[in-house]
Amino acid sequence: DAGVIQSPRHEVTEMGQEVTLRCKPISGHNSLFWYRQTMMRGLELLIYFNNNVPIDDSGMPEDRFSAKMPNASFSTLKIQPSEPRDSAVYFCASSSGSEQYFGPGTRLTVT
């Protein structure tokens, strides 16, 4: 199995630009999670889906953030417009039970 796939691995963009992060979960997993990791706040949940339906988006910082899961094999996290404080590593994880498997992350730098 290829594991959770995230793209891009690195993204550098200018303030005000739109950023889209992508995630392909492990085949057969029905839960997908987006986490953000920063030095100040550590690892925190942004949003998660069960069976493609958003269950908890209380961690999404602002309306500038949106996430979709159009099918069981793909999810996106979009930031528009991006700001320097959005710089972080964004992880996607998937699960079919209680164990979550993490992707390698996308390191986002907003200048």
95 is an interface residue for other proteins by CB under 8 A: yes
- Strand 106-110 with 10-13, pairing: parallel
Q: Name which of 69 and 103 has its Cβ closer to other proteins.
A: 103
Q: Name which of 44 and 83 has its Cβ closer to other proteins.
A: 44
90 is an interface residue for other proteins by CB under 8 A: no
DSSP state of 25: P
CB crowding 23-60: b at 16 or more within 10 Å, else e:
bbbbeebebbbbbbeeeeeeeeebbbbeebeeeeeeeb
> What is the C-alpha to C-alpha distance for residues 106 and 79, in angstroms, rounded to an integer?
13
91 is an interface residue for other proteins by CB under 8 A: yes
> What is the C-alpha to C-alpha distance for residues 35 and 23, in angstroms, rounded to an integer?
12
Specify the stretch interacting with other proteins by CB under 8 A; choose among 13-21, 63-71, 76-84, 97-105: 97-105
Shortest separation between residue 82's beta carbon and other proteins, angstroms: 22
5 is an interface residue for other proteins by CB under 8 A: no
Residue numbers of the site for other proteins (CB under 8 A)?
A: 4, 30-31, 33, 35, 42-45, 48, 50, 55-56, 91, 93, 95-105
